[in-house]
Amino acid sequence: MTAAQFREHGRAVVDWVADYWERVESLPVLSRVAPGAVRAQLPSSPPEVGEPFAALLDDMDRIIVPGLTHWQHPGFFAYYPTGASGPAALADLLSSGLGVQGMLWQTAPACTELEQHVLDWLAGLIGLPERFTFAGSGGGVVQDSASSAMLVTLLAALHRASDGQVARDGVDRGRYVVYTSTEANCGFEKVVRDTGLGSSAVRFIDTRDDLGMDPKALRTAIEQDVACGRTPALVMATVGTTSTGAVDPVQLIGPVCREYGAWLHVDAAYAGVAAICPELRWIHAGVAEFADSYATNPHKWLLTALDFDACYIADRSALTGALAVLPEYLRNSASESGAVVDYRDWQVPVGRRFRALKLWAVIRWYGAAGLREHIRRSVALAQQFASWVGADDRFEVLAPHPLSLICFRLRGGDESNRALLDAINATGRVFLSHTEVRGKFALRLAIGGTATRQEHVATAWTLLSQCADTLAAPRSIDWPEQVGAASTERFQDSRCRGAH
């Protein structure tokens, strides 16, 4: 592809993305294709002769878009939305066009130093202490996800707990144990398996009434393990759990970790960026005093687009000690001088992309004030939705909701709530996911998408209310069989589908 061809087709791609963003609200949020439908439309073998690029864009419209669940739809309220934005998408294009491999400072000095600088910026914006920056003993690194941040910080914790033995000889199974809340991200157990510790090394700690980890239960679990000769290697506290948005009391967990020498990692994947607003900085209580590592995902709520996790370490020597290898072919004078950072020693892969461009572009385009506005609008919309739920006797809120996630349900049995979830998602207007709160099936509505506004939240509530009416009077319309079964084609003749 020549430069002239790249200009021509590049403009077409930018136009296509812009058109997609403009029309995505008209598409059903949840994909309606059957399993295998996308592959059935693709040729059985690759082309022998190259094709016009326009043919690929045609297939994007014909095959790919109908096979997507649209995460940038303003009615996407499931899981936690991923906030793609124009500045982030354009920065991704710049990164791909540059094609640098930032494994060493020498291989891309600007890639490394911009990442250091932008992550120091973010640390200041969300109120992290200086020891998490390159002005102190630590620093930040871009990982692809919170799970990768968990993995590298657990490796650093094991390195510290074993005085480097784990890096040399591998994990001594049965010796080290780790702790987290029963509400924590399921990725934590996966990470523990990946290190070789195995699931038996995980202690899931009960929660308090507010669904945050119970520090007393943590202390009891650690005392029992120590009495059996085990070493508490790491405790993971969560600021904004995946399931309910719960915030663990880091200020109470931290002293227990310090007493027993356990590394404290704070997983703030969803909620951490909310601390860009001074009035929400309470979520970080205890982080400055006690955390050994911290991670948050700007790709969830800070308009930065997948994939971008900001992972901070208070003592970078523990991380590089666990992960550094130095073959002869990577030796160079800059690295040996000790004056530069080689990010390959801060992550599991050796190679790395120029991801920092995305956050740099987002911060420069929106400014701190614009980012605060985005967070505050999301929180305000969530509180408004919670007030509608709380004022309706048919519904109940099941968990605290200080930020942008509401867990709620119809009063009654789990089956009626499963049917409500199926009905609301079948409308094509919105997409909600579910969880379990204290043994009860609950619907989750998470706000934070780039394009989500008040009218979209109001639409979600209107649809929920009308679908609830329909469920309460099933004989008023011609219901399909097996109301509670999952199907995106269900209720197509009901009042739910035609609510607006």
491 has pLDDT over 70: no
The region of weakest confidence among 23-37, 39-53, 355-369, 465-479 is 465-479
Query: Rounded to two decimals, what is the model's pTM?
Result: 0.91
Q: What is the pLDDT of residue 465?
A: 96
Complete DSSP assignment for 408-422: EEESS-HHHHHHHHH
Q: What is the pLDDT of residue 28?
A: 96
In tens, the pLDDT along 229-265 reads 999 999 999 999 999 999 999 999 999 999 999 999 9
Q: What is the pLDDT of residue 359?
A: 97
**Residues 182 and 243: beta-carbon distance below 8 Å:** no
| Average pLDDT over every residue of 304-310 | 94
Q: What is the pLDDT of residue 366?
A: 97
Q: What is the pLDDT of residue 84?
A: 92
The pLDDT > 90 percentage for the chain reads 89
In tens, the pLDDT along 56-74 reads 999 999 999 999 999 999 9
Class of domain 100-353: alpha beta
**Fold (topology level) of 1-30+69-84+367-500:** Aspartate Aminotransferase, domain 1 (3.90.1150)
Tokens 């000095």 appear where?
Answer: 109
Phi, psi of 232 (to 5 degrees): -70, 110
3-class SS at 192? helix
Two tokens, residue 282: 């309470």
CA distances from 299 to 2, 283, 305, 316 (A): 33, 19, 5, 24
Q: What is the mean pLDDT of the chain?
A: 92
CA distances from 276 to 191, 370, 496 (A): 28, 11, 38
Distance between first and last Cα of the chain: 47
Q: What is the pLDDT of residue 449?
A: 95
| Average pLDDT over every residue of 334-343 | 93
Q: What is the pLDDT of residue 472?
A: 83
Alpha helices in 261-332 (DSSP H): 287-290, 298-301, 316-323
Two tokens, residue 442: 């609950």
State the Cα–Cα distance between residues 336 and 192, nearest whole angstrom. Answer: 33
Residues 399-436: b if buried by 16+ CB within 10 A, e if exposed = bbbbbbbbbbbbeeebebbbbbbbbbbbbbbbbbbbbe
Domain ranges of the chain: 1-30+69-84+367-500, 100-353
